[in-house]
Amino acid sequence: MIAYNFNWAVIWRNWDAFLGALALGLGLAVVSLVIGTIIGLFLAYARLSPSPWISRPAWAYVEFIRNTPLLLLIFFVYFGLPEIGIYNLDKIQSFILTLSGYAAAYMCEVFRAGLASMPRAYGEAAKAIGLRPWQRQRHVVLPVMFRITLPAVSNNLISLFKDTSLAAAIAVPELTFTARQINANTYRVIECWLTASALYLVTAYAIAIALRQVEKRYAVVR
Amino acid sequence: MALLSARDIHKKYDDTEVLKGIDLDIEQSEVVALIGASGSGKTTFLRCINLLEEYHQGRIELEGESIGYTASGRRRKLGERQISAQRAKIGMVFQSFNLFPHMTAEANVMLGLTKVRGMSNAEAADRARHWLDRVGLADRRRHYPYQLSGGQQQRVAIARAVAMEPRLMLFDEVTSALDPELVAEVLAVMQDLARSGMTMVVVSHEMLFVRDVATRVVFMDGGLVAQSGTPDEVLHNPQTERLRSFLGRFHGIFGPV
Amino acid sequence: MDPDCSTFFCQAWTARWSLLEGLMVTISSSIMTIVIGTVLGFVVGLILTYGMLPLRLLARLYVDVMRGIPVLVLILFTYYGLAILKIGVKPYWAGVIALSLFCVSHVAENVRGAVQSIPQGQHEAGMAIGMRFFQRLRWIILPQAVRRALPPWVNTALEIVKGTTLLSVIGVVELLLASQQAIARNYMILQFYMAATIVYIIINFSIAQAAAALERRYAYLRY
């Protein structure tokens, strides 16, 4: 057996740093999800457009994002934007931009499936009571679609939260970056990474449980 | 000695008792039709015979051999090897066909022959061909289940079961999932089997088939055998109000059976 | 930078061997992970479905834990952890081990889902002709489940290919890090990242196409 003496004092001393970093990661995930949802919704409508001039670019964007490693996208945006004359994004903004664009592609697929699975009768009923197209989307289709897709959205939020760990690669001080720094300063390797892992795990499942409650509350009875 | 004898079979799901002490003896070459309303326990009883359902009390014997549970001493389930060997002696056909979708009709029939009976491929293929021919599907041997109609699938399922040369065949509402025009071809195969002397237990709502083919009809009600006798006795001379009203549902369709 | 070699293609040609080596590392670590992850994941998936209770709970715990931790954290944990425990492995292997841990949990879930999606009637039909559990598994359940597990398995494989970029964080010179090393010499940021992106997309599309061809071949399995 390899001897390893645990020393958790290091963790307690840095507990606030861990929690702060965790909060930052969570914040990045939520902000990206919100932006990604809005863009993703437009992309989903674009993909369902009858005009290939609209649907094809949306398709290309989604496939491009989904087949490119996230880390590469992060570097691409972070190091690439200044190349095309955009200098004023700091690393957090740059990361949010990337993760939002990334989330948008995945949300687009979620919404596309959601819109496709919408019972046609809803739209027709809305038409029958005289709602105009925009009103039909706003008051009938979208509310139902959001409810149908809620489980997939929560899964995406959890994925995004885990993906915020990649922000460490451009030195955004979220949980992974912080754990790595404390690891480097203290050499308490196992404690550090166990703590980081546990925090990710607990938070991921806390999100899952919380959103399960929301899902129950808004479940569509079909 | 009866081929199959069931004594005092009790089965519970949680707190509801669905079989409340079934006694039934089946002789060689008998065709016994189990009839009754849904929930009367007839399908559950059929599945108990083949150990697809466990039961909590009672004993079933096939040719004197205790099926599924130890014959004496503390009541214990037999080992998987023994139970499988016993199941191989009892053929079963399901309402939903349950053909293996990744295999051709022929391969469906051959699987048990090669893996359970230990036959060579050639031998098994011969027998599969024989039985597929017998159920009228000689030209469908190489078809996959999705390429066959419901009636054809069910005939393959019958061939698959009969090819194992079981001592007893169980049929669980085998025509219920079929389109009406496909029912006859399946019943014809079953009638053919009955004529050849196969012992059969048939759960069915096809009253004309029951009348014409069954040698005995057993009316089940509330988890018990309520009346048992020749088709004539049971169908034309119901002893209880429940049976009368059950049979009454079929009169409108077929005229008095 | 050499003034005679100012185009992207000239620079890419100069760096061709290190880029190619990076590509090979990407491919080999992907294959290694997918093979290990698939074999072990298959076993864990079966335990998850049919295992005895304590074993099943253990497998469930493993899968749920692995799915709740970011892959990057797994990689860093494995890399630093193995080092501190004085288990000397190259970063490449630490990375493959970590990615495999992740891959196993995903494959296991896929296998469980696929096996459980096979209707109970298939088991019963096998029982009725006297087949024992492992015979039913071998001849009836798994042949169908494997084909159902194919689409999610492909997704997992694509995740792994993309996930190998994370090995760059522990210094494995795979395609991404090789590109970055080229960029460090010539500052052609957009060009080299774009090129790397295209390579990843080609790899992933090839896998997806191969899988789609397989699926078409087994299309008859849909009920």
Q: Do C128 and B92 touch (CB under 8 A)?
A: yes
B131 touches chain C (CB under 8 A): no
Q: Is residue C102 a part of any domain in this protein?
A: yes
Give the DSSP H/E element, type plus range, for residue C7: none
In this structure, which long-range contacts are made by residues A19-26, counting pairs with CB atoms below 8 Å and at least 24 apart in sequence? A20/A178, A21/A173, A21/A174, A21/A175, A21/A177, A21/A178, A21/A179, A22/A174, A22/A175, A22/A199, A22/A203, A24/A172, A24/A173, A24/A174, A24/A175, A25/A161, A25/A164, A25/A165, A25/A167, A25/A174, A25/A175, A26/A161, A26/A164, A26/A203
Q: ipTM of this model? A: 0.90
Rounded Cα–Cα distance for residues C122 and C30 (Å)? 35
Contact A105, A66 (CB under 8 A): yes
Identity of the residue numbered B94:
F
The amino acid sitting at B84 is S
Name the average pLDDT for chain B. Answer: 91
Question: Per the domain annotation, does C88 fall within a domain?
Answer: yes
Structure confidence by residue, pLDDT tens digits, C57-92: 999 999 999 999 999 999 999 999 888 877 778 899
Q: What are the phi and psi torsion angles at B11 (to 5°)?
A: -140, 135
pLDDT of residue A13: 86
Return the half-sphere exposure (C-beta side, CA atoms, 13 A cut-off) of residue B239: 12
Whether the per-residue pLDDT at C156 is higher than 90: the answer is: yes
- C178: domain range? 8-217
Residue in A185, A193, A21 with CA at minimum distance from that of residue A92:
A21
- Assess whether pLDDT exceeds 60 at residue B209: yes
Q: What is the pLDDT of residues B104-130, one digit of tens each?
A: 999 999 999 999 999 999 999 999 999
- A76 to chain C, any CB pair closer than 8 A? The answer is yes
Contact present, C111 and C130 (Cβ < 8 Å): no
According to the model, what pLDDT value does residue A2 have? 59
Say whether residue C158 is in contact with chain A using an 8 A CB cutoff.
yes
Residue B257: predicted pLDDT:
47
Segment B142-173, tens digit of pLDDT = 999 999 999 999 999 999 999 999 999 999 99
Q: Indicate which CATH number applies to the domain containing C178.
A: 1.10.3720.10
Looking at the structure of chain C, the number of domains it has is: 1
- The domains of chain A are located at 9-218
| C65 neighbourhood in chain A, CB within 8 Å | 201
Helix (H, G, I), strand (E, B) or coil at B197: coil
Q: Which of C125, C135, C220 sits opposite B94 (nearest CB)?
A: C125
* Residue C97 near residue A192 (C-beta atoms within 8 A): no
pTM: 0.88
- State residue B253's pLDDT score: 52
Q: Give C105-135 pLDDT, tens digit per residue.
A: 999 999 999 999 999 999 999 999 999 999 9
Question: What sign has the CA pseudo-torsion A25, A26, A28, A33?
Answer: positive
What is the reported pLDDT for B190?
Answer: 95
Say how far apart CA A176 and CA C117 lie, in whole Å.
37
Q: For A158-192, how does the pLDDT look when each residue is reduced to its tens digit (9 = 90+)?
A: 999 999 999 999 999 999 999 999 988 888 888 89
Of A148 and B253, the structure prediction assigns the larger pLDDT to A148
Alpha carbon B161 to chain centroid distance?
10
Q: What local confidence, expressed as pLDDT, does residue C2 receive? A: 62
Q: Does C76 contact A179 at a Cβ distance shorter than 8 Å?
A: yes
* Residue C223 included in any domain: no
Is a pLDDT exceeding 60 seen at residue A221? no
Please report whether residue C46 resides in a domain: yes
Determine the average pLDDT of the residues in C13-17: 83
Predicted local distance difference test score (pLDDT) of residue B30: 94
**According to the CATH classification, is domain A9-218 in 3.40.50.720?**
no
Per-residue pLDDT tens digits for B19-57: 999 999 999 999 999 999 888 899 999 999 999 999 989
Residue B169: closest C-alpha in chain C? C128
Establish if C37 belongs to a structural domain: yes
Distances (CA, A) of A96 to A83, A158, A167, A172, B142: 19, 16, 9, 11, 58
Q: CB distance from B176 to chain C under 8 Å?
A: no
Cβ-defined contacts of A47-51 (< 8 Å, 24+): A47/A108, A47/A112, A48/A112, A48/A115, A48/A116
